[in-house]
Amino acid sequence: MNENLFASFIAPTILGLPAAVLIILLPPLLIPTSKYLINNRLITTQQWLIKLTSKQMMTMHNTKGRTWSLMLVSLIIFIATTNLLGLLPYSFTPTTQLSMNLAMAIPLWAGAVIMGFRSKIKNALAHFLPQGTPTPLIPMLVIIETISLLIQPMALAVRLTANITAGHLLMHLIGSATLAMSTINLPSTPIIFTILILLTILEIAVALIQAYVFTLLVSLYLHDNT
Amino acid sequence: MASVGECPAPVPVKDKKLLEVKLGELPSWILMRDFSPSGIFGAFQRGYYRYYNKYINVKKGSISGITMVLACYVLFSYSFSYKHLNTYHLAFLTSEHERLRKYH
């Protein structure tokens, strides 16, 4: 039962070679580029969506923060398309693998922190002590703030992994429960409804991307440009 | 006027398209194709643009342009996990896939 449940999360291999690389390379094929002003419908809708999200994301940064806009917009597009493609039956979602999310989270967080420490070192160090703390508490609070800073990349990666994996697992479980119920007790069709509702709620996996990039943004902003 | 099928000088086998190659020439045609990495990449690029220009890069492209790609992706992933869906675990835990296959 255990192996059956987690089988869809095994990285696919062709004769031992990771085919997960090919699946990660699929989303760029679905997002074409164009050198014209007026394009076909697919490119027009995609460009409209990208304009909407990038404007929303980048308004709160100053000039220096906006140099990261290409990185952040491509990040949100990649995670969004990967998560949505994972909702198709039998597909493999690379963001369920913790290794990939760590590989995304750690360099971005480290880049933001190092950038903050390089440019404004006093401001960056001042984050470790909130204003107005009573004097005896200061040593402990500095330790706590340091830990909370160092745990940020872990939290980013684990949050994404856990959410997507849990959603997929729930869908598997409820799907197999529905099939079992249909032979035992047919009038219990509300269970099928819970699948539908769960699937739509799972399309709030897209909101998870918002959460990912947004927390990343907030961290970048605070570290850099305060 | 010459009909469509005739041509005055014989075309070398390598340059023919697949549907114009005669059956006896098929092995030599396959061997003469360019299998270097840049050749394979060029083949993928040509295939991609052929699909793109036919279904997506048109004035009134419909949603079927992209749903065909997604359907192919689903079938491809299914073929990948086919072997695993057929493994037999325990008597009362046979996968639904196996049961459906047995009784159809």
Quick: pLDDT tens for B23-69: 677 777 677 777 788 888 888 888 888 888 888 888 888 888 889 99
**Is residue B8 pLDDT above 60, yes or no?**
no
The stretch A191-212 carries a mean pLDDT of 73
**Residue A214 CB contacts under 8 Å (≥ 6 apart), including other chains:** A57
**Is residue A49 pLDDT above 60, yes or no?**
yes
Nearest residue in chain B measured CA to CA from A84: B70
Determine the distance in angstroms separating the CA of A226 from the nearest CA of chain B, rounded to an integer: 44
* Contact by Cβ (8 Å): A164, A86: yes
- Domain edges within chain A: 7-225
The dihedral over CA atoms of A102, B74, B49, B16, expressed in degrees to the nearest 10, equals 130
CB contact under 8 A, B73 and A41: no
| B61 alpha-carbon distance from chain centroid | 22
CB contact under 8 A, B77 and A88: yes
**Is residue B4 pLDDT above 60, yes or no?**
no
The number of CA neighbours under 13 Å toward the Cβ of B39 is 5
Q: Which residues in chain B touch residue A32, judged by CB atoms under 8 angstroms apart? A: 52, 56
How far is it, in rounded angstroms, from Cα B96 to Cα A12?
Answer: 21
**Is residue B2 pLDDT above 50, yes or no?**
no
**Polymer length of chain B:** 104
Residue with tokens 């493609």: A85
Nearest residue in chain B measured CA to CA from A85: B70
Question: What are φ and ψ of residue A18, in 5° steps?
Answer: -70, 115
How far is it, in rounded angstroms, from Cα B78 to Cα A169?
Answer: 18
Percentage with pLDDT > 90 across chain A? 4
**Mutation test of the interface with chain A: which of B52, B80, B90, choosing the one with the most A Cβ atoms within 10 A?**
B80
Determine the distance in angstroms separating the CA of A115 from the nearest CA of chain B, rounded to an integer: 39
Token reading at B97: 């896939």
Identify the band that residue B96 occupies on the pLDDT scale cut at 50, 70 and 90.
low
Query: Is the Cβ of B100 closer than 8 Å to some Cβ of chain A?
Result: no
Q: What is the pTM of this model?
A: 0.80
Token reading at B91: 């008597």
The stretch A27-48 carries a mean pLDDT of 88
**Residue A87 CB contacts under 8 Å (≥ 6 apart), including other chains:** A199, A202, A203, A205
For the segment A93-115, what is each residue's pLDDT rounded down to a tens digit?
Answer: 888 889 888 998 888 888 888 88
**Is residue B91 pLDDT above 50, yes or no?**
no
| pLDDT in the model for residue B75 | 92
Token reading at A4: 């059956």
DSSP chain A: -HHHHSGGGSPPEETTEETHHHHHTSGGGGS---SSSS--HHHHHHHHHHHHHHHHHHTTS-TTGGGGHHHHHHHHHHHHHHHHHTTSTT---GGGSHHHHHHHHHHHHHHHHHHHHHH-HHHHHHTTS-TT--GGGHHHHHHHHHHHHHTHHHHHHHHHHHHHHHHHHHHHHHHHHHHHHHHH-TT-THHHHHHHHHHHHHTTHHHHHHHHHHHHHHHHHHHH--
Question: What are φ and ψ of residue B63, in 5° steps?
Answer: -75, -15
**Is residue A148 pLDDT above 60, yes or no?**
yes
CA-angle at A134, arms to A129 and A139, nearest 5°: 50
CB contact under 8 A, A7 and B78: no
Percentage with pLDDT > 70 across chain A? 85
DSSP B53: I
What average pLDDT does chain B have? 72
DSSP A207-222: HHHHHHHHHHHHHHHH
Determine the distance in angstroms separating the CA of B10 from the nearest CA of chain A, rounded to an integer: 39
**Is residue A48 pLDDT above 80, yes or no?**
yes
How far is it, in rounded angstroms, from Cα A157 to Cα A212?
Answer: 9
The stretch A165-171 carries a mean pLDDT of 83
How far is it, in rounded angstroms, from Cα A142 to Cα A140?
Answer: 5
